[in-house]
A and B are shown apart, each in its own frame.
Chain A
Amino acid sequence: MGVRDSHGEATGTPDPVEKGFATLNTIRIGVKAMVQKDGELRKAEILSIKQRKDGPAFYVHYVDFNKRLDEWVPASRIDLTQEVEWPQPEKPEKKKTGPGNKAPSKNPQKRARADSRDVSVTPDLLSGKNANIAKAQRPSKAGGKENRGDETPANLSFLGSADGTPKVESEDVDMVDASASEAKGAKEEDKTTGMMSREEELERLRTGGSMTQNPTEIHRVRNLNRLQMGKFEVEPWYFSPYPASFSDVDMVYIDEFCLSYFDNQRAFERHRAKCTLVHPPGNEIYRDDYISFFEVDGRRQRTWCRNLCLLSKLFLDHKTLYYDVDPFLFYCMCSRDETGCHLVGYFSKEKDSAEGYNLACILTLPQYQRRGYGRLLISFSYELSKREGKLGSPEKPLSDLGLLGYRQYWRETLVELLMEPGRESISENELAILTSMTEKDVHETLVVLNMLRYHKGNWVIVLTDAVVEEQKKRLEKEKVKGARKIDPARLQWKPPVFTASSRTWNW
């Protein structure tokens, strides 16, 4: 794969951006155009195009917005009166792939590089390597005629680039099928850096044990349209590898308790008539008036945990389902009523984390977000760490929401400790032990809050007015609304012990 110049354009590196006017016919995948969003124009990248009854629809990603806001827009929302940015042409000297290889210089077709929206926008750290995937041919100056491929179904458009490319020799477009081209590339040219790193990525994923993102990231377009779960209808945020056929239906039905998925309402209702599960299939380890926590072992409840992961992948960009659920425990928070224990959120935790993470993935289901559940989940994860007698930290990278949630928790936890009456000094280590946070997290939180300062030759922790004020407000609010906290006394849990064999992957 000769495309290695992927990153950077969007980040403002000085690659010259080719601009020009486009028509609906010349717009193709990779083009960045201005699109109407909430009453304003925003630059957006076209990720997929499909033909609908009422004309073409474009799947757009708004630059500098989170992927979860990507959407299908009709042509009318694209402002073609402004110039569009064409995808970065491929560097010819690197373009040597393909069996019937033409000399690069002779290659008349400039290879369009899939412009890395992902690089530019998400904090996805792997993204830079994936530029080849959504590669589309940049239209030649003649424009227009290559566009007939645009009827590509959405879920294929980023795979089958042949549709979107001009009629050129097949070897020139081979890179879209990554593995095939990779094989060719490996044979015929020395491995490009990108390929190396890709393989390294794969290797690292294989051996790394962390649920990081699928490196190939082909799944740039959401595959499910809507989700029915419990009393709610939810809009998925990201791609999740549900059966491919599910992308064809308008609504996917999720059983609230067993998390099974159905593309047919009748089948779902039939299933509900038979399903007897009324809570996560594990042991309840915490219960208060408000919520319950269930501990579910990925190894013993493989189906349920897979269902959970598929579901949560819809809302977690950084999650990968690349590997199976065996090495994880799932701590599921539920609210109870007379129909059962409804999953509100969960976090997963490696049975044996080499890096000392106390949490791998964390999610509050969208229908329950912004109600303080995330904080309870985080708090519970630290409560488990306290019980284990360990310091812990969440696995990285954090999503934007995760980062905010954690920062808030850290801030509140530390400020509460620091404001305890009679406390005149404390070390970072003590703070870490009291909270089960790592010293690094403690330190960074203090720094971020601008509380750790160097004053007259000594380090001091400054309780800033803002922080004090916030804490006061919080306490008042808690007085009115009642504090929702994890009560350690109600936690009936001993750190589970796993033998080496049960941690391995034997099925």
Chain B
Amino acid sequence: MTRYGGMGRTRPKKLTSKASIPIIRETDIDIIEDEIQGLQQIETGVEKAEESVSLPTPVGSRDTRPQPIEIHLQAAINASARGKINDAHIPTPETVLSNLRYDELYPPVFSQPATYVRFSSTVEDCCGCPYNMTDEDDVFLKILNQKLGPSARCSEDDFEEVMYFFEETAQTHQPFAAVDSPPVLSYAEMEQSMDAAVEVSVKRFAKDVYDHWKSRRMTTGNRSLLPSLKFETGQDTDDTDPYVCFRRREVRQVRKTRGRDAQSAEKLRRLRKELEDARQLVAYVRQRELARKEMLNTEHQIYMQRSEVKEMKRKLAIKDDDEDLINQKPKKKPAEAPTVQRPSAPQLRMPPKLGAQGAEDLQLLEEVQAEKENEILLDIKQNIAKHIAWNEGYVDFTRAPLSPSPERTFEAAFRPAITTQLPTPPSSDTSEHRLDSVMDTKVPSFQDQLARTMEISEDTSRIPSFRRRVGRGGRLMIDRRNFASRRAEMDPIKADRYKYDDEDSDDEPLFDRSRYDIHIMQHRAIMAAKARDQAVAHAQAQVHAVQAQQRRFQVDHGTPNNGPPNMGHATGSNSGPGAAAVTTET
């Protein structure tokens, strides 16, 4: 204790597990140093406790009274401490070679597989019948077999099966035989439990063996003949009985809280629901199978009746093929249409035409389509008429009237030369969803520009304008006004450059300076006219597309009123580009 004992030395530093400790040989240090002695003393003290109990003791859980150490362990520890490992030996009772006929009992049947063994069968799977004959049984069986004669002898395996059957039956009938000691199960009771699962051999020898089994049971106080371990019986003595083993461990108690209660209630509810669902499912399956059975019955009935028909036909010498003896599934759908169109077609005379029916179907589809198309057109016309009727007696002041008369548009004296965007060429829209975007964006954008034309027209005196006149002799004249003469500033080549500029941007910053340049104006005018024509063509194309769409729709859905809401309007644009304006402006 010299070092820690206040001899003026410093206390040793605390040793942490992460601290790196230098490794040295014993020769490198001064053995005489008293530090070592001191430490050694302390450590032997620690070890003493370890040797007895403290080393293996989990913290705080056990009795830690110092206990004397067993002599042999002490000796062994001391020996190993002195480095004499071989002396560290604790005597144990000896084992000797047995004189058992080992080779007979353990035949050399094991061949090691190349791969590691994988195995999941249980002991019960591997041991055959759990009952094993004893010497006593041997004697009995010998006598029995003498009695039975060589032809009907009971083999050892059969005997064990029988005994095991008795044991098992007794166990199920009298599970607490060891406790309440009821009388041994009678043979009659045994016989009762012989069901189909019991082997024939068992049944054959049961009667012969029963008495033997009974006498053996009697001698053991009606306890099981198979040696069995003692398990919990739920009695108080369980806890102290050293023979009671392998108890079931209680699940750790979980703290009871309101939340936990709710949780388990919820779990139960869910479980119940799931079970209910499963039950329902099974019920449905049952229902389905019943229905199936019903169907089969019906089919059978039908078949029988058909065969009767056939019989009858034969009797009556009606000659045709066996058409009415089989189900004609494909007939069902077409059967409707023909009956509508040719209601008089008699069933029995149909068969020769059967081959042509497919072609008829196609034709029919086209007819239906034509009919639907007509309906659509009719609808469109009706819509137009309706619009006209609505507007009767009213002056249309909307900026873009329903159907602007082309005369009036072109009668306008001077049209301001507005820079308009080059309209996008109509995209080839065939898909259904393109339809909406076409209606909502393309046409309106063109329409917008027209509207803008109107707006700015109040101010026409200031912006450059032009008009077209047809003069005498059919001369086409274009009058213009408010032109600033800035033509020098714009190089035609430069101007040309803008021609192919991208048309995506809505504003037109590029044209700012050259806006009223004559070339550009001309170009613009031409383009605008073209655009108008294109728009008209476009709109018409759209109408067609819409109609086609609708047709498709109707074919698909069967009803013409099922289309998207704006379809009714769109159909109105049939008459011209102005019609398209209606869709957006109103």
Co-complex (A, B): yes
A119 to B21, CA, bound (A): 41
When the two chains form their complex, are residues A426 and B20 in contact, meaning their CB atoms are under 8 A apart?
A: yes
When the two chains form their complex, are residues B40 and A450 in contact, meaning their CB atoms are under 8 A apart?
A: yes
A308 to B424, CA, bound (A): 88
Nearest B-chain residue to A368, judged by Cβ: B95
Q: Does A80 contact B (CB under 8 A)?
A: no
Q: Does B307 contact A (CB under 8 A)?
A: no
A418 to B243, CA, bound (A): 48
Chain A residues, CB < 8 A from B64: 125
A208 to B117, CA, bound (A): 34
Q: Does A232 contact B (CB under 8 A)?
A: yes
Interface residues of A, dominant DSSP: mixed
Q: Does B121 contact A (CB under 8 A)?
A: yes
When the two chains form their complex, are residues B127 and A258 in contact, meaning their CB atoms are under 8 A apart?
A: yes
When the two chains form their complex, are residues A461 and B239 in contact, meaning their CB atoms are under 8 A apart?
A: no
A278 to B245, CA, bound (A): 27
When the two chains form their complex, are residues A65 and B117 in contact, meaning their CB atoms are under 8 A apart?
A: no
Given A408-B85, A459-B12, the answer on whether A418 and B23 have CB atoms closer than 8 Å is yes
When the two chains form their complex, are residues B250 and A448 in contact, meaning their CB atoms are under 8 A apart?
A: no
Chain B residues, CB < 8 A from A285: 116
Given A123-B67, A400-B72, the answer on whether A276 and B22 have CB atoms closer than 8 Å is no
When the two chains form their complex, are residues A283 and B92 in contact, meaning their CB atoms are under 8 A apart?
A: no
Q: Does A105 contact B (CB under 8 A)?
A: no
Given A283-B119, A294-B117, the answer on whether A274 and B77 have CB atoms closer than 8 Å is no
8 A Cβ contacts from A150-176 to B: none
Shortest Cβ distance from B567 into chain A, in angstroms? 59
Q: Does B450 contact A (CB under 8 A)?
A: no
When the two chains form their complex, are residues B93 and A366 in contact, meaning their CB atoms are under 8 A apart?
A: yes
When the two chains form their complex, are residues A408 and B80 in contact, meaning their CB atoms are under 8 A apart?
A: yes
Known: A64-B68, A281-B126, A404-B77. 14 other contacts (CB 8 A): A125-B53, A179-B240, A231-B97, A244-B230, A260-B127, A271-B132, A322-B245, A327-B249, A404-B88, A408-B85, A424-B22, A428-B19, A453-B36, A505-B248
Cβ contact of B12, chosen from A294, A454, A463, cutoff 8 A: A454
Given A7-B65, A123-B53, the answer on whether A206 and B3 have CB atoms closer than 8 Å is no
When the two chains form their complex, are residues B132 and A403 in contact, meaning their CB atoms are under 8 A apart?
A: no
When the two chains form their complex, are residues A276 and B21 in contact, meaning their CB atoms are under 8 A apart?
A: no
When the two chains form their complex, are residues A338 and B20 in contact, meaning their CB atoms are under 8 A apart?
A: no
Q: Does B83 contact A (CB under 8 A)?
A: yes
A80 to B388, CA, bound (A): 139
A12 to B339, CA, bound (A): 116
When the two chains form their complex, are residues B127 and A275 in contact, meaning their CB atoms are under 8 A apart?
A: yes
Nearest A-chain residue to B252, judged by Cβ: A207
Nearest A-chain residue to B3, judged by Cβ: A454
Interface residues of B, dominant DSSP: loop
Shortest Cβ distance from A365 into chain B, in angstroms? 9
Interface string of B42-53 (1 = CB under 8 A from A): 010011001011
A418 to B92, CA, bound (A): 34
Q: Does B256 contact A (CB under 8 A)?
A: no
Nearest B-chain residue to A419, judged by Cβ: B23
Q: Does B504 contact A (CB under 8 A)?
A: no
Q: Does B112 contact A (CB under 8 A)?
A: yes
A64 to B85, CA, bound (A): 22
When the two chains form their complex, are residues A444 and B19 in contact, meaning their CB atoms are under 8 A apart?
A: no
Cβ contact of A228, chosen from B61, B80, B98, cutoff 8 A: B98
Interface string of A421-437 (1 = CB under 8 A from B): 00111111110100000
When the two chains form their complex, are residues B56 and A123 in contact, meaning their CB atoms are under 8 A apart?
A: yes
List the 4 shortest-distance A-B pairs measured between CB atoms, nearest first.
A396-B56, A274-B128, A267-B132, A397-B56
Chain B residues, CB < 8 A from A230: 98, 102, 106
Q: Does A262 contact B (CB under 8 A)?
A: yes
Interface string of B550-575 (1 = CB under 8 A from A): 00000000000000000000000000
Q: Does B317 contact A (CB under 8 A)?
A: no
Q: Does A68 contact B (CB under 8 A)?
A: yes
CB-defined A-B contacts under 8 Å, sample of 5: A264-B134, A266-B138, A281-B121, A336-B110, A408-B85
8 A Cβ contacts from A328-369 to B: 336-341, 355, 366-367, 369
A159 to B227, CA, bound (A): 22
When the two chains form their complex, are residues B240 and A339 in contact, meaning their CB atoms are under 8 A apart?
A: no
